[in-house]
């Protein structure tokens, strides 16, 4: 009756589980390293139009003047 029961081999089961975990971690590490090392490419920064640059310069000057006036009040 018990001649068909397969005996478990704990050492073999443990090694298979350990191998599976190592394989999983290896794949995760490979994906992480390749993502970290991939070239990001050249980032293009948009240049502001002249009018907007002029307005920003005027705004900074106005804020500076307001701060100076605040000191006198």
Structural domain contains residue 68? yes
Residue 53 domain-assigned (yes or no)? yes
Cα torsion 59, 61, 66, 67 to 10°: value is 110
How confident is the model over 44-64, as a mean pLDDT? Answer: 83
Residue 3 within a domain: no
Contacts of 48 (CB under 8 A, 6+ apart): 56
- At residue 3, the pLDDT reads 62
Q: How far apart are CA 8 and CA 11, in angstroms?
A: 9
The pLDDT mean for the chain works out to 84
What pLDDT, on the 0 to 100 scale, is given for residue 22? 98
1 belongs to a structural domain: no
Task: Identify the domain containing residue 60 by its residue range.
Answer: 10-37+49-72
Rounded CA-CA distance 1/6 in Å is: 12
Whether residue 32 lies inside any domain: the answer is: yes
Q: Is 65 inside any structural domain?
A: yes
For 56, residues 6+ apart whose C-beta sits below 8 A from its C-beta are 48
Is the confidence at residue 66, as pLDDT, over 60? yes
């Amino acid at each position: 009756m018990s001649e068909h029961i397969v005996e478990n081999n704990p050492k073999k089961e443990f090694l298979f589980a350990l191998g599976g975990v190592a394989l999983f971690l290896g794949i995760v590490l490979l994906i992480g390293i390749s993502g970290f090392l991939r070239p990001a490419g050249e980032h293009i920064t948009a240049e502001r139009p002249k009018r907007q640059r002029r307005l920003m310069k005027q705004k900074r000057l106005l804020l500076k003047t307001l701060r100076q006036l605040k000191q006198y009040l």
